Amino acid sequence: MGGVPTAILTAGLLLAALPAFAAQVIDAGVASRATQEPSVVATASNLTSLAADGRVSELALRVQRISTDRTLEPAAREWLLDRGLHELARLAPMPAARTVVQQLAGRRPEVFTRLDPDHGDRATPLYDTGATARFVLRAWLRAEARAQTEADLAAGRTAQIERFAARASADVQDPERAGIVMAFEAAPRAQLAAQRNAAAAIMAAGGRADEIALVLARRLVDAELATLVIGHAEPRIALGAVRSLTSAFDSHIALGLLQDASRRADIASAALLAIGELASHDAAARTILFEQIADPGNGPSAAAALASVGDPAIAVEIGRRLRVTTADQPRRLHVLALKLDASPVARDELRRFLATGQGSAQLRSDVQQWLER
């Protein structure tokens, strides 16, 4: 690789921004030219060919040799390592490949480039081989977990639900848990029925089979299991359940589930907004929202949900309720619904409210100022 221009910046330029181990800070254009050298391109092509032929051990050995080849331009070496690791990620983790990737997982960035000076004169890794290697290890774990789960699902075994729940304390990005969920998402629906009771039992006992239970509830159209998810799943998963209810269940069942969800504080807002989607064609959904609009906690979300329907009849009804409401706090929530609607009908209802002289001076002033905009 001799003869490739390096244009290396002096270490003093970015000394404060670089870790002590950083070897070089180079211009991105220099790095690009280094990776386009014919010998480097040929090596990259060889990596791709080895992967295409399924020659995993040979590919791993080639990657290992590249990692210690100091005759390569540093940017080219790190680029080739990144290419080789991504090729390995798509293949089965043979022992030789696993060993090499595990070794590279601890590798620290060696080549840096300078960020836009307008955003701070800092250096950032041009390639991070260690991070790519860790990505490969996670990809392998995810693929292995998916394959094992697919085998268990085909055999009617429920071991993977128990395994999933046992790993509940793992990181939210746990690749093994992700692989299990992927298998459940892709499995034939006929295989999932045998898993339903195991997931329900774990959820009812307070176990963490949340994501799997949600997949089963949605794909089996199982309202009882959906109720367990809404009531017991961690907020992130329960919120996902709310978002999928209207598409997975018919309107009547979805509305009941969403009403249950509206009683859980951390997902109530999302549930009421989802009820708003049903309110355009479901009178029962409108009734629920009208009942909630005066609630101090759920009122703002109910107001937003009613306003989102965009039906003049709803604005008229909100206006009627506003004029017969006697306390200022629920008045404010009804006013909010009309403001969020902002249609001519809604504005007319606010004018009618002002004409009654009801409400506090501050509320009337707020409404007047809004109408004058």
The string over 169-189, giving b where at least 16 C-beta atoms fall within 10 Å of a residue's C-beta and e elsewhere, is: eeeeebbbbbbbbbbbeebee
The pLDDT of residue 120: 59
Per-residue pLDDT at 25: 82
Cβ–Cβ under 8 Å, residues 267 and 239 = yes
Lowest mean per-residue pLDDT among 25-39, 60-74, 96-110, 268-282: 25-39
Q: State the CB neighbour count (10 A cutoff) for residue 156.
A: 10
Q: Give the other-Cβ count within 10 Å of 80's Cβ.
A: 25
Expressed in percent and rounded to 5, the helix, strand and coil fractions of the chain are 70, 0, 25
Residue 351 has pLDDT above 60, yes or no: yes
pLDDT digits 0-9 by tens, 169-214:
767 689 999 999 999 999 999 999 999 999 999 999 999 999 999 9
What mean pLDDT, rounded, does the chain reach? 90
Give 119's contacts (C-beta < 8 A, 6+ positions apart): none
Q: How far is CA 89 from CA 7, 33, 58, in A?
A: 33, 26, 14
Contact 74, 110 (CB under 8 A): yes
Using one digit for the tens of pLDDT, what is the confidence trace for 119-168?
Answer: 556 778 888 999 999 999 999 999 999 999 999 999 999 999 999 999 88
How are beta strands 24-25 and 111-114 bridged, if at all? parallel
User: What residue spans define the domains of the chain?
Assistant: 11-127, 141-233
What mean pLDDT do residues 319-348 have? 95
In the sheet with 111-114, reading across from the earlier edge strand, the strands are 24-25, 111-114, 123-125
Answer yes or no: are the C-beta atoms of 72 and 118 closer than 8 Å.
no
Which of the residue ranges 13-22, 93-102, 304-313 would you say has the lowest mean pLDDT?
13-22
**Confidence grade of residue 10 (pLDDT, cut at 50, 70, 90):** very low
- 344-354: average pLDDT: 95
How much is the average pLDDT of 218-234? 96
Q: Once rounded to an integer, what is the mean pLDDT over residues 95-100?
A: 96
